[in-house]
């Protein structure tokens, strides 16, 4: 009897997903490079390598570690947003409202920290609750009133932005549009570093938020793949009528999913703003891009929580890298451009897998035919 045949490496779904993501990244970079060439051919290659290198542009390893730290500080909230998007997507919901839930989390977290003077962990819980509240609202509108979660999410994004801007107006710095500096007003609300900052050349913004985000990613994977609740949620996403027929509470599941997704995005905002890296500008007139980039990271990561860890880092890596291009010739938005091209291409992942499998089938058939001829 022949030995058990091993699956060819290209047929393993995880490999296909990884391959598809890499193709998306490569094509995205190529399109970005072409755009740079069109703007100004002289510095295009340098600019695209600057974007890809990000902190490696520094020759000194201490500076490299410090700026790697800065990328990580922003990658953690991005990972949370992408977890929010992918968790909802697994249940059949497109959480474009992650951006608004992120805003709500930032508002609640900063308000608790600056106006109420609460310690960091209370602020984080408040941020998660605020995000969850907004998420639940979308979920309830979907479950009971049949309002598409994409539309309600977008509307809530803008409502959250204007609400948070006026809420944080009370803790605004008198001279600038930003909120007062966290570490001076309430040091107890800064997420502790526990020595992590020392690893990154004393980058004081590197906190336990970064490992926490990774732990949460693993927890979400366990929840989705290894628990009864995760199974029920995914079943609801696949076919809500079938789920109801099986006795699952499909309305409750929809609301719960959006609540969890909202909490993730809200918590992400707390991880960022409670590190003290940036202050909130109460005059901003557009929703922060973090939530939308979360969509990119979620799809680029193959809709897998573990994949999201890497894709979030990558998206943040090139976004930060955009700051290093020569501003005399190019604008830093070129990284936004590249990441949006990557999201667009992620739409074709299914098509890509289909083509790959068809090619593999053709090849196998041809091989079989050859054997038959012998």
Partner 1 sequence: MTLLIQYMLIFASVLLLVALGGCFSEHSGVINIGLEGIMVFGALGGALVMKYLPENASAATVIFLSIMAAMLVGMLYSLLLAVAAINLKADQTLVGTAMNLLGTAAATVFVKAMNTAENPDNVSSTIQYISAKKAFIVDIGGFEFNWFMLLALILLVISWVLLYKTKFGLRLQACGEHPQAADSVGINVYSMRYAGVLISGLLGGVGGLVYITAGVSEWKFENGVAGFGFLALAVMIFGQWKPIRIAMAALLFGLFRSLSNVYTGFDFLARLNIPSSVYNMLPYIISLVVLALTSSKSHAPKAEGIPYDKGSR
For partner 1, the binding residues (CB under 8 A) are 35, 39-40, 94, 96, 141, 145-148, 150-152, 154-159, 162-163, 165-166, 285-286, 292, 295-296, 299, 327-331, 333-334, 336-337, 339-341, 343-344, 346-348, 350-351
Closest approach of Cβ 222 to partner 1, in Å?
Answer: 26
Q: What is the DSSP letter of 281?
A: B
User: CA-CA distance, 234 to 256, in Å (whole number)?
Assistant: 12
Closest approach of Cβ 344 to partner 1, in Å?
Answer: 4
- Selection from 132, 157, 164 nearest residue 292 by Cα: 157
- Selection from 300, 301, 291, 295 nearest residue 267 by Cα: 291
Closest approach of Cβ 331 to partner 1, in Å?
Answer: 4
Cα distances from 64 to residues 55, 195, 241, 278, in angstroms, run 5, 18, 53, 20
**Three-state SS for 179?**
strand
User: CA-CA distance, 191 to 274, in Å (whole number)?
Assistant: 6
Choose between 122 and 155: whose C-beta lies nearer to partner 1.
155
Closest approach of Cβ 217 to partner 1, in Å?
Answer: 21
Q: How many CB atoms lie within 10 A of CB 58?
A: 16
C-alpha triplet 206, 210, 215: angle, nearest 5°: 160
Choose between 314 and 330: whose C-beta lies nearer to partner 1.
330
Choose between 2 and 327: whose C-beta lies nearer to partner 1.
327
- Residue 72 near residue 199 (C-beta atoms within 8 A): no
Choose between 154 and 360: whose C-beta lies nearer to partner 1.
154
Closest approach of Cβ 108 to partner 1, in Å?
Answer: 17
Closest approach of Cβ 27 to partner 1, in Å?
Answer: 13
- Residue 221 near residue 305 (C-beta atoms within 8 A): yes
Choose between 123 and 258: whose C-beta lies nearer to partner 1.
258
Closest approach of Cβ 184 to partner 1, in Å?
Answer: 27
User: CA-CA distance, 80 to 77, in Å (whole number)?
Assistant: 5
Choose between 183 and 283: whose C-beta lies nearer to partner 1.
283
Choose between 166 and 239: whose C-beta lies nearer to partner 1.
166
**Three-state SS for 172?**
strand
């Amino acid at each position: 009897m022949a030995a058990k045949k091993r699956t060819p490496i290209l047929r393993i779904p995880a490999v296909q997903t990884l391959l598809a993501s890499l193709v998306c990244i490569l094509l995205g970079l190529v399109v970005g490079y072409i755009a740079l060439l069109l703007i100004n051919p002289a510095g295009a290659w340098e600019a695209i390598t600057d974007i890809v290198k990000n902190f490696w542009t520094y020759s000194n390893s201490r500076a490299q570690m410090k700026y790697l730290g800065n990328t990580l500080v922003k990658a953690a909230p991005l990972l949370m947003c992408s977890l929010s998007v992918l968790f909802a997507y697994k249940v059949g919901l497109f959480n474009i409202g992650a951006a608004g839930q992120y805003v709500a989390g930032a508002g609640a977290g900063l308000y608790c920290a600056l106006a109420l003077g609460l310690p960091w962990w209370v602020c984080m819980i408040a941020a998660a609750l605020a995000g969850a509240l907004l998420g639940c609202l979308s979920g309830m509108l979907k479950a009971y009133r049949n309002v598409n979660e994409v539309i309600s999410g977008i509307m809530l994004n803008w409502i959250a932005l204007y609400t948070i801007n006026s809420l944080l107006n009370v803790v605004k710095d008198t001279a600038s549009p930003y909120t007062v500096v966290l570490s001076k007003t309430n040091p107890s609300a800064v997420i502790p570093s526990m020595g992590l900052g020392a690893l990154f050349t004393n980058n004081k913004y590197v906190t336990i938020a970064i490992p926490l985000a990774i732990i949460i990613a693993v927890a979400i994977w366990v929840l989705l793949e290894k628990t009864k609740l995760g199974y029920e949620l995914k079943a609801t996403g696949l076919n809500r009528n079938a789920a109801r027929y099986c006795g699952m509470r499909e309305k409750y599941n929809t609301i719960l999913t959006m609540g969890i997704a909202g909490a993730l995005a809200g918590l992400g905002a707390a991880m960022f703003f409670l590190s003290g890296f940036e202050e909130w500008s109460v005059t901003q007139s557009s929703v922060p891009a973090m939530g939308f980039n979360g969509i990119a990271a979620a799809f680029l990561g193959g809709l897998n929580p573990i994949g999201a860890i890497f894709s979030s880092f990558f998206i943040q890596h090139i976004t930060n890298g955009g700051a290093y291009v020569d501003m005399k010739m190019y604008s830093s938005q070129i990284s936004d451009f590249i990441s949006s091209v990557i999201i667009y291409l992620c739409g074709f992942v299914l098509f890509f897998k289909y083509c790959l499998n068809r090619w593999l089938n053709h090849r196998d058939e041809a091989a079989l035919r050859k054997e038959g001829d012998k």
